Structure 1
Amino acid sequence: MKTLFTLLISAFLITACSQGNAQENMTVNDLHAIPFNDDESKVVLDVRTAQEYAEGKIPGSENLDVLKTDLFTTSIKKLDKDKTYYVICRSGSRSLKAATQMKEAGFKNVINITGGMQAWGAANFPVEK
């Protein structure tokens, strides 16, 4: 009986810990529907290269290149962990990596944007240069 109880508690703890780090995803349609209205608690974080970012970005977004690993790691330490970050890249792969790293660093509200800027552009949502 004690062994069964220990196994159940262990299973519960493993599940609870893994759910705490579960990755949230959102489509570009969902992101576009969010009213940002100068709400500083919400940040669109574009993790593409500076060159990609300069070619077209979501208005009001911030850029932090995830491929510059050391700089990215150092830079996220300076970000406000209480804000909600909507992380986007070209297609969704780098943003998933960045969002996972941010969650592991203690950020509570990090959402990966699936489809990335390719999906954003395909939906004809606003892009600025």
Structure 2
Amino acid sequence: MKNLIYAFASLLFMVSCSQGTAQENMTVSELNKVEFNKDNDKVVLDVRTPEEYAEGNIEGSQNIDFLKTDYFTSSIEGLDKNKTYYVICRSGGRSARASDQMRAAGFKNVVNVTGGMLAWQAANLPVKK
């Protein structure tokens, strides 16, 4: 019986570790340290509305409104799935859902920025208006 319990626990552990569905997250401070290069293989993807984006955004970021579901879905189809995307929104909720959707669509390198633009601005990091 004891061996059966250990075997079941081991199997459960292996299955949970192999799922690969854990959300990759990063803080705004960590994002601020990322070195972006001229190859554009790293992209900050802002998923707020165009109005929110116009109020202030991260220099060089790309805006695709996550709330326009069909638009977002069709827009990400045109993105390079080999690039790394740092997904940010207002506070972290939309970006987490957008990151999940992108992974489900086959993107391998998607990072959700926790705290969003509220955290970015609270940390006094540069904002383009």
| TM-score normalized with structure 1 length | 0.87
Partner SS state of residue 85, structure 1: strand
2:86 is the counterpart of 1:115 = no
1:78 alignment counterpart? 78
1:25 alignment counterpart? 25
Cα gap change, 1:17 to 1:66, in 2 (>3 Å): farther
Q: Which runs of 5+ in 1 are unaligned?
A: 1-6
- Cα distance in 2, alignment partners of residues 21 and 77 from structure 1: 21
- Cα distance in 2, alignment partners of residues 48 and 70 from structure 1: 15
Q: For the Cα contact (< 8 Å) 1:21–1:104, is it kept in 2?
A: no
The root-mean-square deviation of aligned C-alpha atoms, in Å, is 2.0
Deviations 1:38-91 (A, max 9, x none): 341000000000000000000000000000000101111111100000000000
Q: Which runs of 5+ in 2 are unaligned?
A: 1-7
Partner SS state of residue 99, structure 1: helix
| Pairing 1:54-93 to 2, within 5 Å after superposition | 54-93=54-93
Q: For the Cα contact (< 8 Å) 1:58–1:126, is it kept in 2?
A: yes
Shift of 1:11: 4.6
- 1:15 corresponds to which letter in structure 2? S
2:3 alignment counterpart? none
Cα gap change, 1:94 to 1:35, in 2 (>3 Å): same
- Cα distance in 2, alignment partners of residues 77 and 13 from structure 1: 33
Identity of aligned residues (%): 63
- 1:122 corresponds to which letter in structure 2? A
Shift of 1:12: 7.1
Deviates further, 31-40 or 73-82: 31-40
2:44 alignment counterpart? 44
Shift of 1:23: 1.1
| TM-score normalized with structure 2 length | 0.87
Count of aligned positions: 125
Cα gap change, 1:27 to 1:39, in 2 (>3 Å): farther
